[in-house]
C-alpha cells in the first residue's frame, strides 16, 4: 500500500513553510504596505509588475483545470517542469541515502537533479529494439530506498510512447512515486495519464507549456497529482516561483487555445514529411517512430553522426547529436521546424547522399 507520509522526508513533513505577505492577508484593501514593494510604480510595465505575483497562481490553475478537467487542487505550476522534477526529488529523497530509478536513453534532467541533490541514480536500459520499459527487472532493482521512478512518455530522445500496461504495472507494484513525464503529450493521440489520477495515489504527471504551446521562453511547467502531493510541492516551492508576466501570458495562451490544434496539426504534418523523406534515404539506417515534435535519425554506420552534424552546421542547420546516449549510437535528433525549414533539412540530407554514396 502506498503511504505518502511514509516516503516524504522527515524535515519536509516537519518544516514550516515560508509565510509570504500574500499568504497572511488575502482580502481586499485600499493601501498595501505589507510586502516592501514600491507603491510608486516601476521602471517597466507600469502599475502591474511592482507587486508580487499570486503565489498559488489561482486564475491560471482554474483555467488549466477547465481544459484538463481537473480540480486546481490537483495542479502544481513550476518554473518549467524542470522545477517540478527537482522539487519532487527534494520532497521524498534524502541526500546521500535515497535513490531514483531511470530508464535510459531518456531526458537528462532527472539525472542532473538527482546528482545535484546527492541522490543515487539507478538505471535499467529501455529494452533493446522496441525501447519499452523493462518492468520485469524493476522488482530486482528497487529497494526501500528507491523513492521515485521516472518514466518519459513519449520518450525523449526516441520519441515513442511507453506501453501503458507496463506503466500501469509500475503504478500498481511500486510503493514510491511514479512520475510520468508527458512533455510531448499534445502531439499524441492517446489519453493522458491525468485521467488515471484517482486510481493511483502515487502517480505524478508532468506536462509543459514549452513544447506544443510554444512558450519555452516563459518557463511554465505543470505537475498533476493528488492534493496531498500537490500540498507538499506547494510547501517546499519558492514562494513566488511563477512570475507575473508568465501568469498573464499563460492566461492569454489558454484563451487562444482554439489555435493550438491547428498548430499541432501543422507540426505533425511536418514530422511525417521529415520522417518519410529521411527514412527513404540509403544513408539513413532508421528513423525512430515518433509521437512527439521531433524525430531521432540513426545514420548508416559508414556515416558518422559527428560528420553529418558538422555538414549540417555548415548549412546553418543545428541538430542535436544524441550518439553518446545508451542505445542511441550514431543518432541525431531533429525538431520539426516550419515547412521551409523542414524542406531545407531534407535537401541537406539529400545532398549528403550524393556526396557520400557514390
Ligand X SMILES: *Cc1c(COP(=O)(O)O)cnc(C)c1O
- From CA 50, how far away is CA 186, in angstroms rounded? 35
Which of 107, 131, 232, 288 is the binder for ligand X (CB under 6 A)? 107
150 binds ligand X per the rule CB under 6 A: no
> How many angstroms separate the Cα of 179 from the Cα of each of 100, 197, 221, 240?
11, 12, 14, 24
Please report how the helices 109-116 and 81-92 are oriented relative to each other, as an axis angle in degrees rounded to 10.
Answer: 40
Name 14's Cβ contacts closer than 8 Å, sequence gap at least 6.
Answer: none
116 binds ligand X per the rule CB under 6 A: no
Q: Which is nearer to ligand X, 210 or 277 (CB)?
A: 210
Q: What is the DSSP string of 105-125?
A: S--THHHHHHHHTT-EEEE-P
> How many angstroms separate the Cα of 324 from the Cα of each of 125, 156, 165?
14, 14, 29
181 binds ligand X per the rule CB under 6 A: yes
- From CA 99, how far away is CA 107, in angstroms rounded? 17
Which of 48, 67, 216, 329 is the binder for ligand X (CB under 6 A)? 216
Q: Which is nearer to ligand X, 205 or 297 (CB)?
A: 205
Which of 57, 74, 208, 331 is the binder for ligand X (CB under 6 A)? 208
Q: Which has the closest alpha carbon to 328: 358, 288, 289?
A: 288
- Least CB distance from residue 108 to ligand X, whole Å? 9
335 binds ligand X per the rule CB under 6 A: no
186 binds ligand X per the rule CB under 6 A: no
The CB-nearest residue to ligand X is 80
Size of the site for ligand X (CB under 6 A): 12
Plot region of 261 (φ>0 → left; ψ -120 to 50 → alpha; else → beta): alpha
75 binds ligand X per the rule CB under 6 A: no
Taking only Cα atoms into account, the Rg of the chain, rounded to an integer number of angstroms, comes to 22
Could you tell me which stretch among 8-16, 42-50, 79-87, 259-267 binds ligand X (CB under 6 A)? 79-87
- Cell numbers for 143, please give them: 529497494
Could you tell me which stretch among 57-65, 77-85, 250-258, 326-334 binds ligand X (CB under 6 A)? 77-85
99 binds ligand X per the rule CB under 6 A: no
Which of 57, 210, 246, 277 is the binder for ligand X (CB under 6 A)? 210
Q: Which is nearer to ligand X, 84 or 142 (CB)?
A: 84
81 binds ligand X per the rule CB under 6 A: yes
> How many angstroms separate the Cα of 320 from the Cα of each of 287, 288, 317, 355?
15, 15, 10, 22
98 binds ligand X per the rule CB under 6 A: no
- Least CB distance from residue 50 to ligand X, whole Å? 27
158 binds ligand X per the rule CB under 6 A: no
Restricted to residues 217-236, the positions that interact with ligand X (CB under 6 A) are 221
**Three-state secondary structure call for residue 164:** helix
- Least CB distance from residue 85 to ligand X, whole Å? 7
Interaction site with ligand X (CB under 6 A) = 80-82, 107, 152, 156, 181, 183, 208, 210, 216, 221
Amino acid at each position: 500500500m502506498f503511504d505518502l507520509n511514509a516516503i516524504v522526508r522527515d524535515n519536509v513533513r516537519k518544516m514550516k513553510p515560508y509565510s509570504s505577505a500574500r499568504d497572511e492577508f488575502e482580502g481586499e484593501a485600499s493601501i498595501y504596505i505589507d510586502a516592501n514593494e514600491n507603491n510608486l510604480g516601476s521602471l517597466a510595465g507600469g502599475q502591474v509588475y511592482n507587486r508580487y505575483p499570486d503565489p498559488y497562481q489561482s486564475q491560471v490553475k482554474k483555467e488549466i483545470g477547465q481544459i484538463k478537467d481537473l480540480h486546481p487542487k490537483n495542479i502544481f505550476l513550476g518554473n518549467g517542469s524542470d522545477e517540478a522534477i527537482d522539487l519532487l526529488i527534494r520532497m521524498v529523497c534524502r541526500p546521500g541515502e535515497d535513490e531514483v530509478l531511470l530508464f535510459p536513453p531518456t531526458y537528462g534532467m532527472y539525472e542532473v537533479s538527482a546528482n545535484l541533490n546527492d541522490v543515487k541514480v539507478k538505471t535499467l536500459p529501455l529494452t533493446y529494439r522496441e525501447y519499452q520499459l523493462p518492468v520485469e527487472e524493476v522488482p530486482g532493482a528497487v529497494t526501500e530506498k528507491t523513492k521515485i521512478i521516472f518514466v518519459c512518455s513519449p520518450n525523449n530522445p526516441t520519441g515513442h510512447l511507453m506501453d501503458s500496461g507496463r506503466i500501469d504495472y509500475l503504478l500498481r507494484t511500486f510503493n514510491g512515486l511514479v512520475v510520468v513525464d508527458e512533455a510531448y503529450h499534445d502531439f499524441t493521440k492517446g489519453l493522458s495519464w491525468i485521467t488515471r489520477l484517482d486510481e493511483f495515489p502515487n502517480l505524478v504527471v508532468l506536462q509543459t507549456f514549452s513544447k506544443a504551446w510554444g512558450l519555452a521562453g516563459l518557463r511554465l511547467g505543470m505537475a498533476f497529482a493528488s492534493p496531498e502531493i500537490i500540498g507538499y510541492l506547494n510547501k517546499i516551492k519558492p514562494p513566488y516561483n511563477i512570475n507575473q508576466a508568465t501568469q498573464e501570458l499563460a492566461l492569454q495562451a489558454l484563451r487562444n487555445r482554439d489555435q493550438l490544434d491547428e498548430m499541432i496539426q501543422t507540426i505533425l504534418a511536418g514530422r511525417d514529411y521529415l520522417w518519410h523523406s529521411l527514412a527513404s534515404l540509403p544513408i539513413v539506417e532508421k528513423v525512430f517512430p515518433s509521437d512527439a515534435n521531433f524525430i531521432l535519425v540513426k545514420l548508416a554506420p559508414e556515416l558518422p553522426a559527428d560528420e553529418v552534424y558538422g555538414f549540417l552546421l555548415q548549412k546553418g542547420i543545428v541538430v542535436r547529436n544524441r550518439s553518446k546516449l545508451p542505445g542511441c549510437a550514431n543518432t541525431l535528433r531533429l525538431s520539426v521546424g516550419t515547412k521551409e525549414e523542414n524542406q531545407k533539412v531534407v535537401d541537406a540530407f539529400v545532398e549528403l547522399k550524393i556526396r557520400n554514396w557514390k
